[in-house]
Amino acid sequence: MKANQMKFGTLQIGIVLLTLVTAAVHLIILNIQMVNIKGSIDPLFTLNGLGYLALLAAYFLPIPVAKNNRKLVRWVYIGFTILTILAWVVMGTKSGPGASLGYITKIVEAALVVLLWLDRR
């Protein structure tokens, strides 16, 4: 294996799966809820989901600028995830039947931060 080639193991699979879950929640589930409530998708949920997918691609795909700045991409990924959690807190946690999705998603995002923190290759 080349020195700059990434090893793909359990930790990396976890990062991919957790990212796909939170991206899907923002892109699909929350936007479906917004269409039912407001009649249109929510730009912030859409951008958040796309941001997760873009960071996932930058983190794992052999994109030269991202590959050459992997440590920076990792920190941006962690920061983006923490910012998502903080935005949810600032916007106000909701109670009721749909509230559990928010809490579950924040647990997923917190786990993602932990996995990214541990993935120091």
Per the domain annotation, does 3 fall within a domain? Answer: no
Q: Cα angle at 17 between 90 and 68, to 5 degrees?
A: 85
Q: Is residue 112 in a domain? A: yes
Q: With bands split at pLDDT 50, 70 and 90, how would you rate the model's confidence at 87?
A: very high
Give the confidence band of 121 by pLDDT, cuts at 50, 70, 90. Answer: confident
Specify if 108 maps to a domain: yes
Q: What DSSP assignment string belongs to 53-102? A: HHHHHHHHS--HHHHTTHHHHHHHHHHHHHHHHHHHHHH----STTHHHH
46 part of a folded domain = yes
Give a yes or no: residue 92 inside a domain: yes
CA 66 to chain centre: 17
Identify the domain containing residue 91 by its residue range: 10-118
In a domain, 2, yes or no: no
**Domain annotation covers residue 32:** yes
pLDDT at 113 over 50: yes
Number of domains in the chain: 1
pLDDT digits (tens, 9 = 90+) for 24-40: 999 999 889 889 888 99
What digits encode the pLDDT tens for the residues 91-112? 876 766 568 888 999 999 999 9
Assess if residue 80 is contained within a domain: yes
